């Protein structure tokens, strides 16, 4: 296995840095900071952080691309770490609530262009991810600043004891706000144009961010799956706003230019969503569901590595109930499986048996205690089995070991028993309907 070198400017590669930004490491560092903060004043942290935020903001307001490149050389990994240190404390967190910081981070993300790449690949290195992380926090703060005081007051005891992080308070407030705003203005029922002034940063910057996320959607999935980025539904919300603005422009191709990338990015995010963001994400997923046919026409099949990551994300979501705000049920799992199977490629056959087993196990659990199944569930169950058959179709003839494992797993999971149970439950539903008609 080759050793990935640390880049002199951009720091560690994604294979190295992602493990440093999990929820567990966030809380561990919080406890360390509480201990050190009791021993020294935080004046030095604030001074360094303010200087870092000022440097990023100056890049945000600069219009000349050549000057941006020159100024970016002065923003080092340490600069970004100093800026992030401001998020450890409630008192200093508010300094991140400036739109210019978001603009600066987006421009800095665009400077990460690894060798062999023609366009930016910010998630390839730690530098780009830190910019993304700062931008996401700043977006959340800008969206919800008036609501934060009461939330912090309610959580004051937990904050002082270190049981929760200031960023988790922010994440909860952002998710509640996004969910409420999306549900109050459903796209299909609200034809009123969204003003560009509603965006907290100019449309060109949000468009640039969307373009980078879309071009790097495979790495975006890895970031979502392997790191904890606080309040990311806030970022998704401004992309949703950009789409709503684009739908009412004269060219009227907003669904194609913005809606299709947004549709897929939301569903990639769904594979690594956390409990605190899941309800808000569900609102965004529901609001964009009508883009499915357009997305199917335009979506591009992934390579085997990305396809495997999608399957891993599906398995993680289905087997981790703690990530669901609402209890997972057949209707919520079906679109996730359909999305993943859409990208299934030869080369992922070793993961297919696990996907089959976990899906069948989920169906057994979902039907436990039921006396009948309703029409919508029947359609979703049919769709799930259709997806499983499609996975069999992509398995190469030479995949004997994978097929043998699959057959053994199917026997252990009692697939035939599950099908028989569905038949009985469906028959019960039909008999009840007949009784009701005879009344």
Q: How high is the pLDDT of residue 131? A: 99
Q: How high is the pLDDT of residue 3? A: 59
Other C-beta atoms closer than 10 Å to the C-beta of 418 total: 18
Its pTM stands at 0.91
**In angstroms, what CA-CA distances link 155 with 165, 224, 435?**
10, 27, 54
How far apart are the C-alpha atoms of 395 and 323, rounded to whole Å?
A: 30
173 Cβ contact partners less than 8 Å away, ≥ 6 residues apart: 140, 144, 147, 148, 151
303, two tokens? 């390579």
**In angstroms, what CA-CA distances link 335 with 198, 404, 433?**
31, 28, 28
Q: How high is the pLDDT of residue 79? A: 98
**In angstroms, what CA-CA distances link 210 with 62, 98, 421?**
20, 20, 45
Q: How high is the pLDDT of residue 393? A: 85
How far apart are the C-alpha atoms of 23 and 221, rounded to whole Å?
A: 17
How far apart are the C-alpha atoms of 21 and 223, rounded to whole Å?
A: 9
Virtual torsion, Cα 279, 283, 284, 285, nearest 10 deg:
90
Contact criterion met (CB below 8 Å) for 267 and 296: no
Q: How high is the pLDDT of residue 434? A: 46
Three-state helix/strand/coil letters over 240-306: HHHHHHHHCCCCCCHHHHHHHHHHHHHHHHHCCCCHHHHHHHHHHHHHCHHHHHHHHHHCCCCCHHH
Secondary structure class of 344 (helix, strand, coil): coil
Please name every residue paired with 7 in a beta bridge, in sequence order, or none if there are none.
Answer: 11
How far apart are the C-alpha atoms of 319 and 338, rounded to whole Å?
A: 17
Contact criterion met (CB below 8 Å) for 95 and 49: yes
How far apart are the C-alpha atoms of 11 and 2, rounded to whole Å?
A: 17
Secondary structure class of 193 (helix, strand, coil): coil
Burial of residue 38 (CB within 10 Å: 0-12, 13-18, 19+) is: exposed
Q: How high is the pLDDT of residue 151? A: 96
Q: What is the CA radius of gyration of the chain?
A: 24
Q: How high is the pLDDT of residue 435? A: 47
Nearest-10 crossing angle of helices 260-270, 275-287: 150
Q: How high is the pLDDT of residue 301? A: 80
Contact criterion met (CB below 8 Å) for 139 and 233: no
Q: How high is the pLDDT of residue 4? A: 63
Tell the residue number behind the tokens 């002199």, with chain if given: 8
Q: How high is the pLDDT of residue 373? A: 72
- pLDDT tens digits in sequence order for the chain, 439 residues long: 445 679 999 999 999 999 999 999 998 887 766 655 544 446 777 889 999 999 999 999 999 999 999 999 999 999 999 999 999 888 889 999 999 999 999 999 999 999 999 999 999 999 999 999 999 999 999 999 999 999 999 999 998 888 899 999 999 999 999 999 999 999 988 777 778 888 999 999 999 999 999 999 999 999 999 999 999 999 999 999 999 999 887 566 889 999 999 999 999 999 999 999 999 999 999 999 999 999 999 988 878 899 999 999 999 999 998 888 877 888 889 999 999 999 998 888 888 889 999 999 898 888 776 666 766 778 888 899 899 989 888 877 656 677 788 888 777 877 778 888 777 776 555 555 444 444 4
Nearest-10 crossing angle of helices 232-247, 166-184: 30
Q: How high is the pLDDT of residue 48? A: 92
């Amino acid at each position: 296995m080759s050793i990935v070198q640390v880049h002199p400017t951009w720091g560690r590669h994604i294979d190295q840095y992602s493990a440093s930004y999990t929820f567990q490491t966030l809380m561990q560092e919080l406890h360390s900071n509480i201990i050190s903060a009791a021993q020294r004043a935080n004046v030095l942290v604030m001074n360094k952080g303010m200087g870092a935020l000022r440097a990023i903001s100056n890049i945000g307001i600069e219009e000349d691309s050549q000057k941006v490149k020159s100024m970016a050389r002065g923003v080092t990994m340490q600069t970004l770490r100093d800026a992030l240190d401001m998020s450890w404390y409630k008192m200093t967190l508010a300094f991140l609530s400036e739109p210019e910081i978001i603009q600066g981070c987006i421009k800095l993300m665009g400077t990460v262009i690894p060798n062999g790449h023609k366009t930016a690949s910010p998630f390839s290195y730690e530098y780009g991810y830190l910019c993304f992380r700062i931008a996401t926090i700043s977006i959340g703060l800008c969206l919800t600043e008036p609501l934060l005081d009461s939330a912090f007051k309610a959580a004051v005891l937990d904050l002082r004891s270190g049981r929760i992080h200031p960023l988790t308070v922010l994440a909860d407030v952002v998710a509640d706000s996004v969910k409420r705003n999306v549900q109050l203005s459903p796209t299909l029922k609200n034809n009123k144009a969204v003003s560009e002034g509603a965006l907290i940063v100019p449309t060109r910057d949000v468009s640039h961010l969307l373009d980078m996320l879309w071009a790097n959607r495979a790495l975006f999935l890895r970031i979502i799956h392997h790191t904890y980025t606080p309040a990311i539904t806030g970022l998704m919300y401004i992309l949703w706003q950009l789409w709503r603005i684009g739908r009412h422009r004269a060219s009227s191709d907003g669904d194609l230019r913005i809606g299709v990338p947004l549709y897929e990015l939301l569903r990639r995010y769904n594979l690594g969503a956390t409990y605190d963001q899941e309800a808000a994400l569900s609102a965004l997923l529901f609001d964009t569901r009508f883009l499915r046919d357009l997305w199917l026409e335009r979506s591009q099949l992934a390579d085997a590595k990305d396809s495997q990551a999608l399957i891993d994300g599906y398995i993680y979501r289905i087997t981790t109930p703690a990530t669901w705000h609402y209890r997972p049920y057949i209707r919520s799992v079906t679109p996730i499986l359909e999305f993943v199977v859409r990208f299934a490629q030869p080369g992922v056959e070793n993961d297919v048996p696990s996907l089959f087993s976990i899906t069948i196990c989920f169906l057994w659990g979902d039907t436990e205690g039921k006396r009948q199944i309703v029409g919508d569930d029947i359609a979703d169950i049919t769709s799930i089995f259709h997806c499983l058959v499609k996975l069999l179709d992509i398995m190469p003839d030479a995949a004997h070991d994978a097929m043998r494992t699959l057959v053994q797993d199917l026997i252990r999971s009692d697939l035939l028993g599950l099908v028989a149970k569905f038949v009985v439950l469906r028959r019960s539903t039909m008999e009840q309907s007949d009784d009701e008609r005879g009344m």
